[in-house]
């Protein structure tokens, strides 16, 4: 299905949008609007397929940053597919290096039930999954706190609460990994600091 000029496919509640070969000032605005509209439609995950994308300039990266911030604020996962080294480099330089997947199939599979810590995964795979989740959660926390700084007065509380939730998830992932790995016992949750819901 074409929506806003870019092919969109729905896989369950995951929207997969294919972007063109070159993303620059000439098309970055419409791309940003397309991604924001898909997030607003309630996608659980938005997969931005840049398999055909050979170049992405600063305007293109900023369109993705806008979508990433909106995704964080709405609770939508944003997964980027960017196999081209030049595109990955542009994303990395602008802090969008996670999560980036090598293929559309890998990005879709990441949202499948049981994708995290699947049975039969070896210890090194589980360790990498843990590191990926930690990095992702810390990145989301940073984006939420940045959105709090950029938001009008009064709206920042929601972003700060979301950032604290990401940090709590990260701590829980570390604790769960330590317990399953047979590491030293970690004290139970003490709850958030005083004054934080």
d(CA 88, CA 108): 19
Helix or strand or coil: residue 113? Answer: coil
Q: What is the pLDDT of residues 115-148, one digit of tens each?
A: 544 333 334 444 555 666 666 667 667 666 766 6
d(CA 5, CA 31): 9
d(CA 155, CA 16): 30
Total domains present in the chain: 2
73 and 18 fall within a common domain: yes
d(CA 182, CA 58): 46
Residue with tokens 């999954």: 129
94 and 57 fall within a common domain: yes
Looking at the predicted structure, is the pLDDT value of residue 192 above 90? no
Which pLDDT value is given to residue 60?
A: 93
35 and 79 fall within a common domain: yes
């Amino acid at each position: 299905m074409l929506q806003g000029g870019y092919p969109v496919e729905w896989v369950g509640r995951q929207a997969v949008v294919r972007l063109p070969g070159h993303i620059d000032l000439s098309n970055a605005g419409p791309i940003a609007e397309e991604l924001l509209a898909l997030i607003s439609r309630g996608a659980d995950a938005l997969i931005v397929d840049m398999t055909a994308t050979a170049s992405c300039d600063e305007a293109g990266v900023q369109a993705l940053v806008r979508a990433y911030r909106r995704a964080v604020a709405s609770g939508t996962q944003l997964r980027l597919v960017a196999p081209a080294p030049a595109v990955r480099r542009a994303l990395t330089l602008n802090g969008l290096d996670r999560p980036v997947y090598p293929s559309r199939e890998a990005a879709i599979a990441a949202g499948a039930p049981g994708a995290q810590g699947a049975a039969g995964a070896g210890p090194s795979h589980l360790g990498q999954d843990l590191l990926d989740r930690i990095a992702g959660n810390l990145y989301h926390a940073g984006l939420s706190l940045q959105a709090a700084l950029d938001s009008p007065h009064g709206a920042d509380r929601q972003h700060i609460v979301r950032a604290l939730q990401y940090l709590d998830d990260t701590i829980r992932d570390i604790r769960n990994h330590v317990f399953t790995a047979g590491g030293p016992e970690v004290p139970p949750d003490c709850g958030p600091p005083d004054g934080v819901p």
